[in-house]
Amino acid sequence: MMLAGAQIVEDSVSYRPENASVSIGANPEPQLTTQGFSKMPTRDPVDIQFTNITCTVHLGFNKGSKQILHGVNGRLRPKQLVAIMGPSGAGKSTLLDVLSGYRITGVGGVVHVNGRGRNMKRFKKMSCYIQQDDRLQGLLTVSENMVLASDLKLSIKMDKYEKGEVIEDILTALGLYEHMSTRASRLSGGQKKRLSIALELINNPLVMFLDEPTTGLDSSSCSQVVKLCRDLAQQGRTIVCTVHQPSASLFALFDQVYVLAAGNCLYQGTTKNLVPYLEGAGVPCPIYHNPADYIIELACGEYGEDKIQILTTKAENGRALSWFDDPDSMPTMEVLRKQCPLSVLKEQDPSTGNEETPRSNQRKVLIKRGFLKAKRDSTMTHLRLIVNVLVGVMLGSLFIKAGNEGSRVLENYNLLFAILMHHMMSPMMLTILTFPSEMSILSKEHFNRWYSLGSYYISITIVDLPITIVSCAVFSAIVYTMSGQPMAISRFGMFFAISLYTVLVAQSFGLMIGAVFNVVNGTFLGPTLSVPMMMFAGFGVTLRDLPPYLYWGSYVSYLRYGLEGFVGAIYGLERPKLDCNEAPICLYKYPRQFLSEVAMSPDRFWWDVLALTIFVFVLRIAAFFLLKWKLNAVR
Ligand SMILES: Nc1ncnc2c1ncn2[C@@H]1O[C@H](COP(=O)(O)OP(=O)(O)OP(=O)(O)O)[C@@H](O)[C@H]1O
């Protein structure tokens, strides 16, 4: 009999397309139960205390700054499901960002974990952050998402059957087992949310932060997700969610609530103590009124701004612990430190790097995932091929047989520049348009330590290479033969090499822009920054005619090396005189004459290759550092 876990592994390893027989509509939503989720936390529970947390953002040049959190305090107890509540703009997501360690800029205050100042590296190893938008690999099925995540997050010493058992356990507990062959993009909102949780549960985190896990869900899905979180918390985890305005029944599912208004804490304690707390503060909750609704109305200032002040003072901005159950028995920091001595922490601290698996494994899994995504997104793969064939045929027809005719040398030169434009624009724009959409998933997975940025970067470079090479080869073969360029393997090889290098440089340039700017700004910047490159390429204004003070431009324009390389490939290598069949006088019958006219030397081909190689490396490395900077800057 095959293990069910192995079934999951087999399913995804063979990359079976979606199982049409598994239909969301046809199957009733399975009941969620973490009773089946056998993976209990393996470490001591985590008690988090935060003191005087502030967060300030800069609003831009000359616009000053804005303080979002005003020195809030609080305690997040283990085995508790904690709700951070408050009106829109109160600072809930910001507080969650700070507590999870996601936000680092403009943050003040201290976070203690089990009585000690937070060690970010250790904390990240025990926690995960699930952001509001579901950042899933939509092209992959549930089981593929899980298998690839387990390959990245579980020890490489575990075999696929052991990993399969973990996955099966989680999917069953989260009611996703029936949907494991469904693509993530086709799941319902609640199922997507559960898949986001399932992916992070793989390495069994002790602390989970969830930003608005109930937003956009119907009441039944809301309570399913919250019950799931509560069950996970009861197993020994610390789970913190932000919620907008829960219904009375949903509110009752939380153990602890933390209410924010304009960056201040109005209440911190158990859900059932909220009503007596409000009564004690002189703002009693009306009978038959949902206390969750009432405190939000108070936080919005509907009953007067003074009430906010009263509640903030009474809650001591989160310092007061008297509204917890049994506040006197709550362990002090000293007790917590004794319960969790450094010697134990030392044993628990893995000696490996930031991620769970070695970088070689990360690269292998990411490359596998990249190829699978490329295979699934066949439209894009086909489109790239078709565009290259079409443009190749179009240019080939426009400049048909221009390559060997002495009277059409200038025409052929135009063709070479047009080819260069094609190699520059299509890959650059494709990268600028597609890369920003990858950023949110990259940011989530990288923050949750699935892989290093270097592994990701190398994998996307490798995954794109085959289709880039094939498209470029197809285009080159079509345009080269149709336009009647000299039929010599060496010349075609040189022509293809320059084409490929130009594509790689343009892609790297697009990556630099896509890593930093959004689609709108990138779409403007990419072509705009390419114009000076065209000016300095030596087309229109020859390199000889460039004013001396602008000559430096020709060195920084990769198109100059591309054009020079093309000219070297076609007219260099001591090319004999050209045919002169179509006109009585052929000005450039002798290729050397033409080369001197455009101020290009025939023997610079290898210098051009070297320059383009340097461009590829420098721009790729620059794009990597810009990406790294961007990932930190958004935090
Ligand atoms: N980078 C930023 N620059 C300027 N203002 C910001 C920035 N980040 C957050 N804010 C502001 O800080 C306040 C709190 O934002 P936050 O997203 O934490 O609120 P929230 O309580 O989670 O709201 P919602 O429930 O609507 O998501 C808002 O007024 C928001 O506009």
Q: Whose CA is nearest to atom 12 of ligand 1?
A: 68
Domain boundary among 339, 372, 407: 339
- Residue 598 domain-assigned (yes or no): yes
The tens digit of pLDDT for each residue in 280-311 reads 999 999 988 899 999 999 999 888 888 899 99
The tens digit of pLDDT for each residue in 553-598 reads 888 889 989 998 998 898 887 777 877 877 777 777 787 888 887 7
| Confidence band for 22, pLDDT divided at 50, 70 and 90 | very low
**Same domain for 619 and 567?**
yes
Residue 34 has pLDDT above 60, yes or no: no
State residue 90's pLDDT score.
Answer: 93
- Residue 436 domain-assigned (yes or no): yes
**Same domain for 318 and 410?**
no
3-state secondary structure 490-553: HHHHHHHHHHHHHHHHHHHHHHHHHHHCCHHHHHHHHHHHHHHHHHCCCCCCCHHHCCHHHCHH
Task: Decide if 77 contacts 236 (C-beta within 8 A).
Answer: no
Q: Compute the distance between CA of residue 403 and CA of residue 27 in angstroms, rounded to an integer.
A: 64
Residue 20 has pLDDT above 50, yes or no: no
**Same domain for 165 and 102?**
yes
Q: How far is the CA of 243 from the centre of ligand 1 (A)?
A: 14
b or e along 342-376 (b: 16 or more beta carbons within 10 Å of the residue's beta carbon)? eeeeeeeeeeeeebbbeeebbbbbbbbbbebbbeb
Residue 478 has pLDDT above 70, yes or no: yes
- Residue 584 domain-assigned (yes or no): yes
**Same domain for 295 and 372?**
no
Q: How far is the CA of 113 from the centre of ligand 1 (A)?
A: 26
- Per-residue pLDDT, averaged over 38-67, amounts to 86
**Same domain for 325 and 428?**
no
Query: What H or E segment, with its residue span, contains residue 81?
Result: strand 81-85
- Per-residue pLDDT, averaged over 15-27, amounts to 38
Residue 353 has pLDDT above 60, yes or no: yes
Domain count, the chain: 2
State residue 343's pLDDT score.
Answer: 75
Residue 5 has pLDDT above 50, yes or no: no
Domain boundary among 339, 373, 404: 339
Range of the domain at 382: 359-633
Given ligand 1 and candidates 93, 245, 259, which is best to mutate, with the most ligand atoms within 8 Å of its CB?
93
- Residue 18 domain-assigned (yes or no): no
Q: How far is the CA of 68 from the centre of ligand 1 (A)?
A: 7
The tens digit of pLDDT for each residue in 124-159 reads 888 999 988 888 999 999 999 999 999 999 988 888
Tokens of 398: 């426009």
Domain boundary among 306, 339, 372: 339
- Residue 334 domain-assigned (yes or no): yes
**Same domain for 333 and 390?**
no
State residue 43's pLDDT score.
Answer: 72
pTM of the model: 0.82
The mean-pLDDT minimum among 28-42, 415-429, 619-633 falls in 28-42
**Same domain for 61 and 163?**
yes
CATH number at residue 144: 3.40.50.300
- Residue 1 domain-assigned (yes or no): no
Q: Ligand 1 pocket: which residues have CB below 6 Å?
A: 57, 59, 66, 68, 86, 88-94, 244
**Same domain for 316 and 363?**
no
**Same domain for 163 and 206?**
yes
**Same domain for 53 and 173?**
yes
Tokens of 374: 């490329």
- Residue 351 domain-assigned (yes or no): no
**Same domain for 391 and 315?**
no
Given ligand 1 and candidates 63, 67, 68, which is best to mutate, with the most ligand atoms within 8 Å of its CB?
68
**Same domain for 366 and 322?**
no
Q: In what order do the strands lie in the sheet with 107-113?
A: 65-76, 48-58, 107-113, 116-117
- Residue 186 domain-assigned (yes or no): yes
Q: Compute the distance between CA of residue 142 and CA of residue 145 in angstroms, rounded to an integer.
A: 5
